[in-house]
């Protein structure tokens, strides 16, 4: 385990209203580390965003050719536009390189998926003027803010901390 993962989390990410604002203002999302394998989290996220969100989606993976009927790009620099959000499905040690690519193309938001936390990258990204979200799934956040948690695999119908009373 890297030293960064062993230390206490001190970085504070954007609040729920700030995350909602990022999602509402975005027009395009690039999924870095997108997979064409249905069992992968990035594929599930891509499927949800393609069917339930208004974003122009771009898939970035240097080996895949097509995902969900769309072309796949080898790098962020190859995209036809600068994405508003760069959603990252890459291992911890790859994150500094993804940040470099993100800043090089001029994207404004770096979104590290659920389970991904890198304080050094977060601070460097903020120093470069980027918005940063870490350890949050863009699919879950979008669904939470837009009433689609059932589409995200949460079929609760009600979000409450109180036990439901049945008659």
- 125 φ/ψ angles, rounded to the nearest 5 degrees: -65, -45
Give the chain's domain count.
1
Residue 113 DSSP symbol: P
pLDDT digits (tens, 9 = 90+) for 18-65: 999 999 999 999 999 999 999 999 999 999 999 989 999 999 999 999
What pLDDT score was predicted for residue 151? 47
Q: Is position 24 within any domain?
A: yes
* Within-domain flag for 135: yes
In a domain, 114, yes or no: yes
Q: Please indicate, yes or no, if residue 121 is contained in any of the structural domains.
A: yes
163 in a domain, yes or no? no
- Candidates 91, 58, 94; CA nearest to 77 is 58
Residue 58's pLDDT is 98
Check residue 30 and give its pLDDT. 98
In a domain, 137, yes or no: yes
Residue 161 inside a domain? The answer is no
Predicted confidence pLDDT, tens digits, the chain (167 residues): 445 445 678 888 999 999 999 999 999 999 999 999 999 999 999 999 999 899 999 999 999 999 999 999 999 999 999 999 999 999 999 999 999 999 999 999 999 999 999 999 999 999 999 999 999 999 999 988 877 555 444 444 444 555 555 55
d(CA 30, CA 148): 21
- Asked if residue 35 belongs to a domain, the reply is yes
pLDDT at 7: 61
Read off the CATH number of the domain in which 137 is found.
Answer: 3.40.50.720
**What is the domain range of residue 23?**
14-145
The reported pTM is 0.84
b/e per residue 35-59 (b: at least 16 CB within 10 A)? bbeeeeebbbbbebbeeebebebbb
For residue 148, count other CB atoms closer than 10 A to its CB: 17
CB atoms within 10 A of CB 110: 27
């Amino acid at each position: 385990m890297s030293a960064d993962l062993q230390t206490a989390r001190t970085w504070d990410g954007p609040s729920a209203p700030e995350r909602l604002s990022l999602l509402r203002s975005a027009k395009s999302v690039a999924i870095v580390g997108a997979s064409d394998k249905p069992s992968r989290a990035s594929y599930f996220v891509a499927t949800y965003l393609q069917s339930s969100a208004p974003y122009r989606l771009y898939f970035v993976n240097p080996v895949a050719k097509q995902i969900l009927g769309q072309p796949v790009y080898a790098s962020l620099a190859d995209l036809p536009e600068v994405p508003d959000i760069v959603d990252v499905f890459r291992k911890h040690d790859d994150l500094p390189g993804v940040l470099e690519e993100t800043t090089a193309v001029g994207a404004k938001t770096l979104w590290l998926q659920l389970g991904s936390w890198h304080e050094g990258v977060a601070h460097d990204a903020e120093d470069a003027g980027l918005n940063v979200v870490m350890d949050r799934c863009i699919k879950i956040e979008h669904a939470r803010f837009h009433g689609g948690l059932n589409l995200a695999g949460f079929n609760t119908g009600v979000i409450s901390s109180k036990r439901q009373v049945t008659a």
